[in-house]
Each structure stands twice: as structure tokens, then as C-alpha cells.
């Protein structure tokens, strides 16, 4: 049987006030679930193909591709921001090929009723897809009834079969190594910086209110096993296959929420990694889990940069609103530990969170000053549906219960008007640098100047819109310049980046 997955991997941005399209963010991201399902399907003797859309396709181009591929089952990778595109592509598909259509990934898992009601969608998969899709395809191929396949919702006329979600795969090592080759490596954004994307685990054990992890975890009968990871040995085989598939890989990016640290996993893995792989890498971590021993092992294995979710410097926002349960002291200690061993750091922050105003954003700016992050990110909080924080915002009347997911949506709260929100987003790093510079001055002077800058940042009389327009123009120029050098002079771009980030490579 031939399965074709359509993966719309780009973002259309729409202004919520005017409905005007703001632009398209071109994609090119590797997706582990697709590579894993491809490996499972091929191991069982089925054909599997991927139509990876990194930018919008015309109707004619899209339909010609489907006719040429001629699948027996058509699957759509359906994420929330991309769901509106999927709805349109499904209708085009139905006009081109008369085969069943199934939707999978995050959006049908968390909002199945919305997806199963979509015109043209015949089925959806909730949760992990390897075992569910394998059983579904086996039954379809054999001509058997598949209406009661676990994890699959099936629409037959006016009837919807809402089958229960099957248990999680508890031992990830039973899965075949991902089929990395199903992706065209030349289309991936990471290719431009010779980087391989790595995911060795599934499921985050935490329940941050802005994330869908908790609601996704709760759909499984064995939800207590939601957070799982491959063994160190399997992980090394995974990396060896990735590097063999893409020999141009010089760096690795571990996209796991947290690399495992318990039971000696990290110690065993980093020892194997140094011996068998040896490539410089970056990874995510949670600040309250960091110890000097963990960062030492990671650094010795080749880690040159770590990403931490700081999110907010205001204790009420971070711990009560976001459910992070992380003290300022632990955050500071984590960044200090990285600095001690020579690992560069990136702090993830958000602005525009529910119950936030400029004074609470200033708390976040000052925490970023204190931790001394090498780079601070400050995107505007996007209210993803079917999360606890989204429901809070809807209840307060700050976000509509239903909206076009392509909208440049933000929390519309009176404490933080739109112009102030965008000012905070664009000038976050500017104020971090200003405060850092002032704190190098003698105490009496720095204290006086800091109060002056506090008043400047908090002032409601600043020309916020003009300042935002200027900053946005400068940001576009900077990003365009980086993109130019990344695409046209990749060797020079990487040479500069490696020196800025302290990357050490063998040879």
C-alpha cells in the first residue's frame, strides 16, 4: 500500500484587526514523527512518500503532485498554525485523487472535534501514530473493517467512530531508526548551517499552562509514562545513521525538551557520544534541573550552547500564571553554572502574557540582566487553543474563543495596550544591554541611572508606535543580512558564528 504525507511547513501571518495578510514565514523544518512513521511503514513493506511544502503551493501544482504520486492513503500533518492551510489543501486533494484522507499531529490530537468536522477529512489519528497507522493500513490493505482501530476517529456519513487512544509506546527502542532520508535535506533550514536536528525523547513531564503537553498527556491510558527516552546505545545508533545519511552535518541540535539526566543516562550517553560522534551541539534544558556536574558532562561531550525557558522574571507570572515552579535563584544558578564551564546561553522569554503589564515585563528584563544570558529572545505570547492559559485568556475576555489560527494573535488586555506590547517586544534586548552597562558603574551612579531608565521604560507617553516602526525596520534589515550571508556565504557565516559562540571542533 502506498501512503503519502502532505506536510505544510510554513506560516501565514494575518493581522487580527484588519484581516490583512502580513506575510509568509518560509519553512524547512525536520519532523521526527514523519521520519519515524515512514520507517515503520517501510519496515512493514509499504511505500511511503512525503510532500514537504516549505511555501504555499498553487492548486494546479498541488493537484499535479498528488496525481503523479497516486497514493492509496493521503495523510496531512496538521499543526495548529497550519490548520487553515490544511483545510484548503484537503479540498484540493479530494478533487484530484479519490482516496481516504487522514489528519494527524498536534491539532487533531488536542482538538479532534474541530478536525473531524473538516470537509474532506475522513479520519484522524490522536496521539502517537506508528502503531495506529500500521494497524489501519494493514486492515485497509487486507480489505478488513477498520472502524474500531484504536487512536483513529473515522467519519462515515453522519456517524463518527471516536475510538479510544491506545497506550503510549513505553519502550521507544522497539521502534526502527527514523527514516531520515524521507526528507530532502536540501530543503531543510538546518542545512544552511550544516546542522542535524535530533530528538531522542518523547513527552515533557511538566505542565506549563501555555503548553499543550498536559492535555496531550491526559489522553493516554498510561499517561504516567508520557515522558520517555531512547537508551544511550540506541541514541548513538540514531546519531550514526543521521550523520551517515547527511555526511555534511557538522553540528547537532538536540530538540528534546530536556535531555535525560536520571539513572546515569546522561553520564553513559555523553561518554559514548565523545567516543562515537564528537560533533559540537546545542540543547535545551530546564534551569531548576541543572547542576555543575550536568553542565560539565555536556561541555566535555561538545555542548557549546544551552537554551533555557526563563519565560518571565516576575515571580507571580512565572510560577502562578505559567505554573513553572522555578525560583529566581535556581535560574541564576543555572546560567552561572554554564558560564563557569564555558557554555553559551540563550534565554527564552515571553512578553504579553496574561496579567502582564510593562512593570512585570521590566522584571523579566532585569532577570535577564542578572543571569547574564549571552542571548535573550522575547517573542510575543501566542495563545494556543486547548491550553490552560488560553482558557484563562478566553474567560477574561482577552482572546476570542474561536479565531483564525493564522492571525498575529496576542492577548488584548487593558494593562498592556498593543503599542506598548510591541514596544516591549522590540526593545527588550536594548534595555537588557542598557541595564548591564549601567550596573558596571559605581553604585550611587548606577542606582540613580537605573531609576531614570525604569521611568523611561514604564512611561506611557513614549512615542511607542514610531519607535516600534523604527525597530521593526532595523530588525528586518539585520535578519535579511544574516539570511544573505547564511545562504550566499555559508562558510563565512559559520566561521563568524563559531567564534561568537565558542564552538570547538576537532581538527
Q: Is residue 320 part of a domain?
A: yes
| pLDDT tens by residue, 28-52 | 999 999 999 999 999 999 999 999 9
By the 8 A CB rule, do 69 and 4 touch? yes
- The reply to whether 153 and 301 lie within a common domain is no
Whether 220 and 110 share a structural domain:
no
Query: Is 4 within 8 Å of 50 (Cβ atoms)?
Result: yes
Distance, CA of 304 to CA of 451 (rounded, Å): 36
Let me know whether 255 and 402 are in one domain.
Answer: yes
**Distance (Å, whole) CA 8 – CA 23:** 16
Contact 72, 393 (CB under 8 A): no
Same domain, 151 and 202: no
Distance between CA atoms of residues 76 and 128, nearest Å: 14
- Record the cell numbers describing residue 367, joined without a space: 532577570
Query: In this structure, are 366 and 242 located in the same domain?
Result: yes
Helices (H), 16-110: 32-43, 59-69, 83-96, 106-110
Contact 92, 59 (CB under 8 A): yes
Same domain, residue pair 249 and 306: yes
Do strands 2-8 and 47-53 pair parallel, antiparallel, or not at all (unpaired)? parallel
**287 and 218 within one domain:** yes
Q: Which whole-number Å values give the CA distances from 352 to 125, 355, 379, 464, in the listed order?
A: 33, 8, 9, 15
**C-alpha to C-alpha distance for 452 and 401, rounded to whole angstroms:** 41
pLDDT digits (tens, 9 = 90+) for 49-76: 999 999 999 999 999 999 999 999 999 9
From the CB of residue 263, how many other CB atoms can be counted at a distance below 10 Å?
8
* pTM as predicted: 0.92
> Could you list the pLDDT tens digit for every one of the 507 residues in the chain?
999 999 999 999 988 878 888 889 999 999 999 999 999 999 999 999 999 999 999 999 999 999 999 999 999 999 999 999 999 999 999 999 999 999 999 999 999 999 999 999 999 999 999 999 999 999 999 999 999 999 999 999 889 999 999 999 999 999 999 999 999 988 898 988 899 999 999 998 899 999 988 889 999 999 999 999 999 999 999 999 999 999 999 999 999 988 888 789 999 999 999 999 999 999 999 999 999 999 999 999 999 999 999 999 999 999 999 999 999 999 999 999 999 999 999 999 999 999 999 999 999 999 999 999 999 999 999 999 989 999 999 999 999 999 999 988 899 999 999 999 999 999 999 999 999 999 999 988 999 999 999 999 999 999 999 999 999 999 989 988 988 888 788 888 888 888 887 787 764
Domain count, the chain: 2
Does a structural domain hold residue 157?
A: yes
- 102 phi, psi to nearest 5 deg: -125, 140
Tell me the average pLDDT of the chain: 94
Q: Which residues pair with 284 in a beta bridge?
A: 307
Same domain, 236 and 365: yes
- 156 and 222 co-located in one domain: no
Domain span holding position 376: 194-415
The cell for 159 is 456517524
Which of 415, 438, 453 terminates a domain? The answer is 415
Check whether residue 259 and residue 117 sit in a common domain: no
Residue 98 sits in the same domain as residue 220: no
Residue 428 lies in a domain: no
Mark whether 397 and 249 lie in a shared domain: yes
CATH at residue 213: 3.20.20.70
Q: Which of 385, 415, 445 is the last residue of a domain?
A: 415
| Domain final position from 162, 181, 212 | 162
Amino acid at each position: 500500500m502506498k501512503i503519502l504525507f502532505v506536510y505544510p511547513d510554513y506560516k501565514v501571518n494575518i493581522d487580527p484587526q484588519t484581516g490583512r495578510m502580513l506575510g509568509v514565514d518560509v519553512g524547512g523544518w525536520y519532523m521526527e514523527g514523519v521520519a519515524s512513521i515512514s520507517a515503520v511503514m517501510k519496515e512493514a513493506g509499504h511505500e511511503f512518500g512525503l510532500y514537504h511544502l516549505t511555501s504555499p503551493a498553487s492548486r494546479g501544482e498541488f493537484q499535479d503532485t498528488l496525481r503523479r504520486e497516486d497514493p492509496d492513503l493521503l495523510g496531512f500533518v496538521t499543526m495548529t498554525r497550519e490548520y487553515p492551510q490544511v483545510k484548503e489543501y484537503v479540498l484540493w486533494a479530494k478533487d484530484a485523487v479519490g482516496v481516504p484522507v487522514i489528519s494527524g499531529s498536534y491539532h487533531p490530537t488536542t482538538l479532534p472535534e474541530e478536525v473531524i468536522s473538516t470537509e474532506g477529512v475522513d479520519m484522524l489519528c490522536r496521539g502517537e501514530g506508528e502503531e495506529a497507522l500500521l494497524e489501519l493500513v494493514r486492515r485497509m490493505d487486507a480489505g478488513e473493517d477498520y472502524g474500531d482501530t484504536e487512536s483513529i476517529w473515522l467519519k462515515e456519513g453522519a456517524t463518527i467512530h471516536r475510538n479510544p487512544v491506545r497506550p503510549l509506546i513505553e519502550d521507544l527502542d522497539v521502534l526502527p531508526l527514523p527514516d531520515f532520508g524521507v526528507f530532502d535535506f536540501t530543503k531543510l533550514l538546518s542545512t544552511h548551517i550544516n546542522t542535524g536536528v535530533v530528538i531522542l525523547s518523547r513527552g515533557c513531564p511538566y505542565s506549563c499552562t501555555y503548553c499543550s503537553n498536559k492535555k496531550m498527556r491526559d489522553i493516554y491510558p498510561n499517561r504516567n509514562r508520557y515522558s520517555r527516552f531512547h537508551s544511550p546505545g540506541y541514541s548513538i545508533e540514531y546519531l550514526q545513521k543521521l550523520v551517515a545519511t547527511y555526511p555534511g552535518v557538522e553540528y547537532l541540535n538536540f530538540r528534546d525538551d530536556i535531555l535525560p539526566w536520571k539513572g546515569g543516562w546522561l553520564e553513559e550517553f555523553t561518554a559514548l557520544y565523545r567516543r562515537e560522534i564528537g560533533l559540537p551541539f546545542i540543547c535545551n534544558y530546564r534551569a531548576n534541573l541543572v547542576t555543575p556536574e550536568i553542565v560539565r558532562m555536556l561541555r566535555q561531550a561538545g555542548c557549546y550552547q544551552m537554551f533555557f525557558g526563563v519565560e518571565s522574571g516576575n515571580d507571580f507570572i512565572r510560577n502562578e500564571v505559567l505554573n513553572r515552579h522555578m525560583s529566581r535563584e535556581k535560574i541564576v544558578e543555572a546560567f552561572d553554572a554554564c558560564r563557569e564551564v564555558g557554555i553559551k546561553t540563550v534565554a527564552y522569554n515571553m512578553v504579553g502574557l496574561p496579567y502582564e503589564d510593562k512593570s512585570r515585563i521590566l522584571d523579566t528584563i532585569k532577570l535577564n540582566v542578572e543571569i547574564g544570558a549571552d542571548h535573550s529572545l522575547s517573542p510575543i505570547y501566542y495563545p494556543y487553543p486547548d491550553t490552560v492559559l488560553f482558557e484563562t485568556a478566553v474567560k477574561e475576555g482577552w482572546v476570542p474563543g474561536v479565531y483564525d489560527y493564522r492571525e498575529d494573535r496576542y492577548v488584548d488586555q487593558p494593562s498592556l495596550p498593543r503599542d506598548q506590547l510591541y514596544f516591549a517586544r522590540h526593545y527588550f534586548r536594548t534595555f537588557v544591554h542598557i541595564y548591564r552597562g549601567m550596573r558596571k558603574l559605581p553604585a550611587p551612579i548606577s542606582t540613580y541611572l537605573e531609576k531614570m531608565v525604569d521611568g523611561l521604560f514604564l512611561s506611557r507617553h513614549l512615542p511607542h508606535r514610531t519607535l516600534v516602526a523604527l525597530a521593526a525596520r532595523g530588525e528586518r534589515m539585520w535578519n535579511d543580512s544574516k539570511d544573505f550571508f547564511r545562504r550566499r556565504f555559508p562558510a563565512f557565516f559559520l566561521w563568524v558564528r563559531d567564534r561568537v559562540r565558542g564552538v570547538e571542533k576537532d581538527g
